[in-house]
Amino acid sequence: MDIPRFFTISESAHRIHNPFTPEKLAVLGRALRMEQGTRVLDLGSGSGEMLCTWARDHAIRGTGVDMSVLFSRQARLRAEELGVSDHVDFIHADASGFVSEEKVGVAACLGATWIGGGVSGTVELLERSLLPGGIILIGEPYWRQPPSADVIARGGLAGSVSDFLLLPELLASFGRYGYDVVEMVLADQESWDRYEGQRWFTMRRWLDANPDDEMAGEIRARLASEPERHAAYTREYLGWGVFALMRR
């Protein structure tokens, strides 16, 4: 079981697989006022940076579930590197339907809400692992400005305008699911640049090392087009943020 190879190639060097910098992840960790020993579940935990750094900085105990072989391995290595292997556990598995045996104080899904079939399904899934009074974290894109059909077609940001909401609409939607939004930390254009820029460099390095690989043509085409696409579309039209929710 693994994710498509394109992601493993283009994001092999990322510690954070979304448009957050380490600083923003740290701001989020502080914003949540977690007590020592708080259990945190992370579905689609990637290379484990959130759980590992929060275990180091806030003494939380973490469980991450991710479908990528490479990212799960990197997460365990990162835990060793930060000296928190006893406090975090990374499970290589499909997180769809995953409910933790022991309930948690914080249940998160950052940049992988397809795991629950969309935002509302993911909120419902995370709720099943949550202690009463716990916090759900959802990391999700939103439109910074309404895109035209042409932007959708050429930018490849979404299948349709309705895939994402404007920020006020996204915040209001959590209320309709029965949750208060109690905190949020947003990406910005420069943190998007960090996420995208790292991908270009990683793709270039990979191409230099693997010129005859069967995916070399696709990676070359992506490298040639992605900087311009990012500047024209992603950077202007897509925001991203992590929203902390508590049931009303």
Instruction: Give me the residues that bind ligand SAH (CB under 6 A), please.
Output: 3, 16-18, 44-46, 49, 65-68, 71, 94-96, 110-112, 115
Q: Which is nearer to ligand SAH, 115 or 136 (CB)?
A: 115
Q: Which is nearer to ligand SAH, 94 or 190 (CB)?
A: 94
Q: Which is nearer to ligand SAH, 151 or 194 (CB)?
A: 194
Minimum distance, C-beta of residue 84 to ligand SAH, in the bound complex (Å): 16
88-92 and 104-110 beta bridge pairing = unpaired
Minimum distance, C-beta of residue 150 to ligand SAH, in the bound complex (Å): 28
Q: Which is nearer to ligand SAH, 3 or 181 (CB)?
A: 3
State which residue has the least CB distance to ligand SAH. 46
Minimum distance, C-beta of residue 7 to ligand SAH, in the bound complex (Å): 7
Q: Which is nearer to ligand SAH, 32 or 110 (CB)?
A: 110
Minimum distance, C-beta of residue 56 to ligand SAH, in the bound complex (Å): 16
Task: Please count the other Cβ atoms lying within 10 Å of the Cβ belonging to residue 153.
Answer: 9
Burial level of 10, CB count in 10 A (0-12/13-18/19+)?
Answer: buried
Q: State which amino acid sits at residue 42.
A: D
Minimum distance, C-beta of residue 89 to ligand SAH, in the bound complex (Å): 15
